[in-house]
Amino acid sequence: MSELVLVIDFGGQYNQLIARRVRENHVYTEIVSYTKAMDAIREKKPVGLILTGGPNSVYLPDSATIDPAIFSLGIPVLGICYGAQLMSHLLGGHVSHAPEREYGKTEVLVDKDSELFHDVSRNTICWMSHNDFIDTPAPGFTITAHTENCPVAAAEDASRGLYLVQFHPEVLHTQEGSKMLSNFVYRVCGCKGDWKMDSFVETSVRSLREKIGAGRVLCALSGGVDSSVAAVMLAKAVGKQLTCVFVDHGLLRKDEGDEVEAVFGPNGAYDLNFVRVNAQQRFYDKLAGVEEPEKKRKIIGEEFIRVFEEEAKKIGAVDFLVQGTIYPDVVESGLGGESAVIKSHHNVGGLPDCVDFKEIVEPLRDLFKDEVRAAGRELGLPETLVSRQPFPGPGLAVRIIGEVTPEKVKMVQEADAIFREEVAKAGAEKGLGQYFAALTNMRSVGVMGDERTYDYAVALRAVLTTDFMTAESAQIPWEVLSVVTSRIVNEVPHVNRVLYDCTGKPPATIEFE
């Protein structure tokens, strides 16, 4: 069993990033709600705890809190932002409303030597985001850092293994934040760093073989990175007991159904008992008249399950359904922590209540996207497949604002194909995490061929990201965008305007819906 650092979630916006940064140090991490913290600690036996940020003020009566006994368990604890304030509040310090809110990049002055700040510059830039601050640390704590407006930017009771920071070491804007978190897991918690992808793959294949036994398995294969890695992992574990069902729901990118079949079908490189189901009209009928994003996702999620159930009956006595669910899907769907539901992923929060399978198996459920890619490489998948950009399970339905129709799908497919083609032709795709075209629900007046038009606007989006939990808008060269724009308005019917989305995540999500 890998050593575990448990992240106690109080609902802050960066909480998934904390887990991601710890895993970068080859230390396994899970996120649990503060309401289940003590149970999780007893069950999982972590070697360290991290208390996250959150939107509350600790001195309000209904604020999120935790059993103070957590600080007497002999387990090192790091409190971040709200977690730092809560630690101080519960242990006898004082938290108050800050006279000046700190937000953004801030110079932090490290005052004393600390294991947490080992090899960290005395003056370092950190990301602050708080309205309250600790004005008096708890008894036994020593102040180790401050800022111009924050007297307790960091403090510790090293004898008890208790550390707190008012800033956010998990975000990239904190220049030496990764070093601080590494110091916590290695120098404070004493971790060895045994969370390695080769051992994860080997252990997962073995446990899947034991779980499934002689049972039969149906894998929901979309052709994307996640489901492809899950399928090959299952094939390695149970061989011919696996059947992979690819559902073409009519919401794929241009020609993608045929491309997936070419890779995984009878003439492809993998022996996966591949079945293709063409269900385009079925999904269009279910989505007719539906505009609300969450409702679209749930309809698609349920319809996927119904198709898989029907295919399972054709195969006969299928026990397990395998999905390529990954950790960001789980967290954004409101499971596994305390954070709000961002959007229900079709394979998590979008699942129907009743599923006609003995069990749903999700071998990648605990991995972030780049960890899934690493697992794919360990399994021997080609780099072209492992490195392909993500595509959402609900497909173009979440790239079409409002009602989904076959005509709108065709518009997005063509615009997206042009965008991807021109970006690749210009060599501008290097470093991009994801890039695509979406169809807005906005119509506007234009002029084409000396005639008035009243047509749709396409939005182009490209982001830089590694973990897909945060992202920055990519700066696509203007000359590339000009060519793309010209081609889209000339080649895609009913589009007379092209926009470029410059928003990062947060506050936006990568997909539009």
Q: Is 502 a catalytic residue?
A: no
- Longest Cα–Cα distance of the chain, Å, equals 78
With beta carbons less than 8 A apart as the criterion, state whether 400 and 253 touch: no
Q: Which of 3, 24, 81, 189 is catalytic?
A: 81
Task: Give the Cα separation of 359 and 344 in Å (integer).
Answer: 20
- Do you know the residue count of the chain? 513
Is residue 81 part of the annotated active site? The answer reads: yes
Find the catalytic residue in 89, 168, 249, 345. 168
Q: CB under 8 Å to 501, separation ≥6 — which residues?
A: 459, 460, 461, 473, 508
C-alpha distance from residue 157 to each of 76, 143, 162, 396 (Å): 10, 9, 5, 52
Can you name the residues that pair with 248 across neighbouring β-strands? Answer: 278
Concerning whether 170 is annotated as a catalytic residue, the answer is yes
Closest C-alpha to 23, from 385, 327, 251: 327
- Full strand arrangement of the beta sheet holding 77-80: 28-33, 4-9, 48-51, 77-80, 162-165, 154-157, 142-146, 94-110, 123-136
Which pair of structure tokens corresponds to residue 141?
Answer: 């704590």
CB 319 within 8 A of CB 215: yes
What token pair was written down for 328? 């960001």
* Residue type at 54 in one-letter notation: G
SS3 447: strand
DSSP letter assigned to residue 187: I
Intra-chain end-to-end CA distance of the chain, in Å: 38
Exactly one of 3, 24, 102, 170 is catalytic; name it.
170
Q: Which residues are catalytic?
A: 81, 168, 170
